[in-house]
Each structure stands twice: as structure tokens, then as C-alpha cells.
Amino acid sequence: MPEARAGHTPAPSGSSSPPAGPSGPSSPSSPTTPPTPPIPLGELLAREELGLRRIAGPAEAELLWVHTSEMADPYPYLLGGELLLSAGVLLKDPDAYVARLVEAGAAALGFGVTPVFDTVPQALVEACDRHGLPLLEVPPQTPFTAIARAVWRLMAEARHRELRRVTRAQQALATAAARPDPVPAVLHQLAAQLGGRAVLLSADGEELHAAGRRPDPDVDAALARLARVVSSVTRPAPTSATDAVRDAHLSAYALGGGQGLVLALAAARRAAGDHTVAGVAVVLLSLLATPHQGADAAGRSAALVRMLLGAGPQDVAPLLGGAEEWTVVHARRSGGGPLDPLTVGALGTALGSALIDAGRAGGPVRVLVPGGDPVTPQAGWTLGASTPAPLAALDLADGQAARALGRAVATRAPLARHCAGTRGLAGLIPPDQAEAHARALLAPLTETLAETLRCWLSLHGSWDRTATALQVHRNTVRQRIARCAALLDADLDDMDVRTELWFALRQQ
């Protein structure tokens, strides 16, 4: 037998552990950083300076650690995924030895030639082929420590690549969350980053939004079953769950907020950082889908019940968060997109209020914002805001917001506000006299005609912009204005007539 080489000096049971720091594998439970990806066996074999050669078993394997042991049965010391390095000091029964390694989950066996054996025993080669364990021949000039160092270096490189990928994915998801359609945008970006399908499901399994190619029916059904595992709102349930069906990796995550919403994912592969990327999406979707809780939910419910039982607005105002005045905001999607509950809820969250009415089909979304809070433009929305008003005057504020929204739509502005108060000459007339004059002057007009006339005058007689604001055809505007002129017996081209009518309309 040749002289022993330093690299293959037998060790009783020691293991080479990953060094501290970023090059070692991270804890799987870490919520902020992805675990270190496994190293493909082919990458280690490609390191020519090591001189490793696969002589048995499959060519594909993934390495998680490196372990050196000369025990006859190292099974108790293996965690799974190891490249086990050995010189075969106590190798007596190759078949039993390899069977135990496979049972322990070892990824591959590296056998050092010399000092115990001049060549790799043929019985060991046959056993590895039989049990499907990759067998590497380690040449005499390659120390086991060099192999361990190469694996940790490859792991560090893989980890840095995965961290960069996860960082780019996080940035892309954050950018998607700022788009006009934040929930669908986040799902589309998530599906693209993971190379699969992302679905947002309600507590009863209804598909609210989805992105990515729909998988085969059996995979789709398995994904729905997995989502039900984490969707319960009445019993304790895990926050996440995983499964695999054929070649598809499935996962489901419960969103925060107690609404039973679930993010379900299906992908053909599962990379080390995918869980971290999905976790970022869960946080963003939870923030986007959960109603704003500035006013206590129990207080809002109590306010509604008291109003239904006959209480006045002044009695329920303290239950709505203590605001004495409220701004009514009317909103329409700028691009005419769908008004699903999550998109509407995201608007309420952005405006800082949970008091939202999605309205009827074709109608505006209405939001009550505490009077002291600013109303700012929102991407993807056109807004009209009233002046702050007490609860008893919200019907008037609602009309102000509707007119402001019409002006915003007509002028293509993201936000229009109602002009507050009367100033100048109008302020010299007692309000009761002004209202009486307005009622008498406008009595012949229906509410629809009066609103059309108000909008037409506010837009300086523009037929097209008035039609846009009222969402009617321009010929309809012409017909209504002509009808107003006939009923009022007035020349609407006369500036004095227009001024008087505008003054009267402002009193309504």
C-alpha cells in the first residue's frame, strides 16, 4: 500500500462544518433572507483543480454540506444532503454501507484513493450503482479539506446570486404595489418571478385574482385543497403549507387581516429564495387587501345600528373615530378597470379610511375621509372631493363631490375639489333670500336638467367636456341645454343670464 497522503488521513468521525458568516447555510426559519441554495454535483465536478471523477451512480445530485467520517456506519451523524468523504478505513460490507448512506439521505460519496485502498473497490462501485448513490473518486493529491473549501465557496457564490435575485424580486414587487392596479400587478410580478401561477383566493375558495398559466386540472384542484388548509377564519390553522403534485411545487399562505384571504402558488421548480419572495408578496397583499382600521370596526358597526334604530347623526359621530367633519370623495378608475373589492379597499387604505361604498355598477366609488385628513391624488383614479362637512350635511357634501368628480373627468385632472364658501358680491345676500330666489328661478327644471346646466356653465359652455363629465353623448347635452333654455325662457348665450343662473345653481 502506498504511503498515506495528508489529504486522506483517516478521521474517526469528524465532520467539516460550514464556516461562520455568509458563506455558510442560513437558517431555514429566517424570514428575511433566503437559505443557501444547494450546489449541483456537476458544479463541483467541473472544478478541474480537484480532479474529481464520477465513477458510479446518477450524474444529478444536490449538495447541502460536506461531512468526513471513517465510521463503519456514519448514519447517526448525517443530516441528509451531504457529500460524505471517506478513505474506507472500516469498510467491510460495501452494500450495507451504501444502503445506510442512502437511508440517511446522503447526496453523494467521495472515496479517497490511498492510504487504505489503491483503487476504489469494485464492490463499492457496484453497490452505488445498485442503490443510486453518486460515487466520486478522489485522487491522492486532493485533500478532503480542499473539497470542503470548494463546496463552501460554491455555496457562497450561489447564496450571493440568490440574494441578488431575491433583492431584484423584492424591488419589482414593491414597484408593482405602487401601480394603479396594485393587487393584480403584484400577482403578475410574483408569477413572473417564480415562473408559475399566483392566485388570490377568498375564504370560500373564490378566485379573486390570478396571474400566470393555469396548471393541469389535477394540480389546480390540489392547489385549491392546499389553500383551504390555511384559509380558516374560525379555527386555528397554519399560516403556510406546501405540497407537490407530479412536477409541480405548491404552496399556500394566509394573508393577514383575519379575512381568510389566501395566496396560492404553483411552480415547476422551487428555488431557495422563493419562500422569501412569496413572503414579501404576502406582506404587500395583506396591506393592500386589509381595510384601513383607523376607525374601530366595532364603533362603525355600532354607529350603523344606532342610525338604523333612529339615532341622529350627531349621536353616532363619536363612534366613527371622533371626527366632527367629513370629506366625501367620489372616485372613478382612470382607465376604466374593474372595481373588485380588493382594488376598492386599496383606495380606501390609501385615503386613510375604511368607510367605503363601491356603489352600483357604473357608479362612482364613495369614500368618507375625516375632515382634517388631506385628500391627495391616487394613481389610476380620478377623484372629486367635497369641502369638510358635519354628518348632518353629508348629503350636500355628496353632491359637491359628484360635481367635483365631473369637473375632474372633464378636465382630465386627477383630483378636483369643491370650491368652498361664497365670497364677494354673493356673500352680501342673506342666504335665505338667495335660496328662495334660486328655488323660484330653477323651479321649471328637473334635477337632471339642473345638474346638466350646472356642469355646462362650470365648463364654460363646452359641449364635449360636459358630455365627458356627465358620461353622456354630446348631442344629449345639447338637447338638455336647449330644453333648459325653453323651460326658463332665457337666452343662455347672454352672459347676464348665465351669471344669474350660475348664482342660483350655487345655492342648491
Residue holding cell 328655488?
A: 439
Tens of pLDDT, residue by residue over 101-156, are 999 999 999 999 988 999 999 999 999 999 999 999 999 999 999 999 999 999 98
| Mean pLDDT rounded to a whole number for the chain | 82
Structure confidence at residue 5 as a pLDDT band (50, 70, 90):
very low
Cα(400)–Cα(408) distance, integer angstroms: 12
Q: Using CA atoms, how far apart are residues 119 and 115, in angstroms rounded to an integer?
A: 10
Q: Which 3 state secondary structure label does DSSP give 208?
A: strand
Choose the weakest-confidence range: 125-129, 358-362, 470-474: 358-362
**Torsion-angle region of 253 (φ positive above 0: left; ψ -120 to 50: alpha; else: beta):** beta
pLDDT tens sequence across 31-62: 445 567 888 999 999 999 999 999 999 999 99
Closest CA to 314 of 306, 327, 4: 306
Q: Round to whole Å and give the CA distance between 224 and 241.
A: 12
Q: What are the residue ranges spanned by the domains of the chain?
A: 6-156, 178-289, 297-417, 424-506
Domain 424-506, what architecture?
Answer: Orthogonal Bundle (1.10)
Out of 2-6, 101-105, 151-155, 479-483, least confident range: 2-6
Say if residue 317's pLDDT is above 80: no
Note whether 6-156 and 178-289 share their fold: no
Residue 495 has pLDDT above 80, yes or no: yes
Report strand pairing: 415-417 vs 381-385: parallel
pLDDT classification of 17: cutoffs 50, 70, 90: very low
CATH number of 178-289: 3.30.450.30
| Measured distance CA(9)–CA(70) in Å, rounded | 10
Work out the percent of the chain whose per-residue pLDDT is above 70. Answer: 83
Pick the CATH number of 6-156 from 3.40.50.150, 3.40.1640.10, 3.40.1390.20, 3.40.1360.10: 3.40.1390.20
pLDDT at 251 over 60: yes
Q: Cell for 55?
A: 465513477
Which pLDDT does position 257 carry in this prediction? 62
Residue percentage of the chain with pLDDT more than 90: 30
72: closest CA among 108, 99, 54, 112? 99
